[in-house]
Amino acid sequence: MDEVTSAYDHFNWRLPVYAAISTLIVYLPITIIPYDIGWLLYAFVVTPIVGIVLIAIAIGNKGGQRLAILSMLTVYAILSWAILRNYLDARSEVRWLLQSREYKAKVLAQPNPKNGGLRHVEWDGWGMMGQETTMYLTYDPSNSLSHKDTFTGKFGSLHCDVWRVKRLEDRWYSVTFYTDTGWESTCDTSTSVP
């Protein structure tokens, strides 16, 4: 009986590691569904349910096992906070890892723009009640989007206002427009006046 009790009171270091792996496994499928639904689902459904279940399990245990379950809760809470705080970047990285080949083919299948613009496709978006934000996957052969003009605030060869540009890999960028704006012909170099 003492061996069973001492094993039960022993802290299991593997449980927090399992919590970290499980958090990432739970997060991955959520990156595939639309941005706003995924974020809301993770923040307001998945995270509270997992937290409540871990608290209930911790209450039902003693000693080292309780501590291990509480450490799982801590690991899950910290990773979930980091994921939600950086959701847009994390989502972009995971989607790029899983779907870049498909989206690259769509972009590269487009003819070269006659005005010297950049090839692009809608890559992500979110919003509600008519307030939509759009992110485009953009192919920039000259990597001009890697530089932001400090005087004008414009990115590379784009002469329109965008919220952010993120480099995904060499010559591939995500360009996120401000809410209710999108890619327009006036956004490219040769069709606009700086």
Mean pLDDT by 10 residues, the chain (194 residues): 53 86 85 77 90 91 86 93 87 89 95 83 82 89 86 78 90 89 65 40
Nearest residue to 131 (alpha-carbon basis) of 181, 73, 96: 181
- Say whether both 76 and 114 belong to one domain: no
Q: What single letter denotes the amino acid at residue 79?
A: L
pLDDT given for residue 191 in this prediction: 44
Domain span at residue 12 reads: 2-85
Are residues 75 and 9 located together in one domain of the fold?
Answer: yes
Q: What pLDDT does 193 receive?
A: 39
Task: Give rounded-to-5 percent helix, strand, coil for the chain.
Answer: 55, 15, 30
Instruction: Give how many domains the chain has, as a whole number.
Output: 2
CB count in 10 Å sphere of residue 172? 19
At residue 139, the 3 state secondary structure works out as strand
On whether residue 113 sits in a domain, the answer given is: yes
Which of 33, 56, 85 terminates a domain? The answer is: 85
Q: Are residues 75 and 130 in the same domain?
A: no
Last residue within a domain, chosen from 29, 60, 85 = 85
Location of structure tokens 């090839």: 119
Using DSSP's 3-state secondary structure scheme, residue 23 falls into helix
Q: Do 78 and 28 belong together in one domain?
A: yes
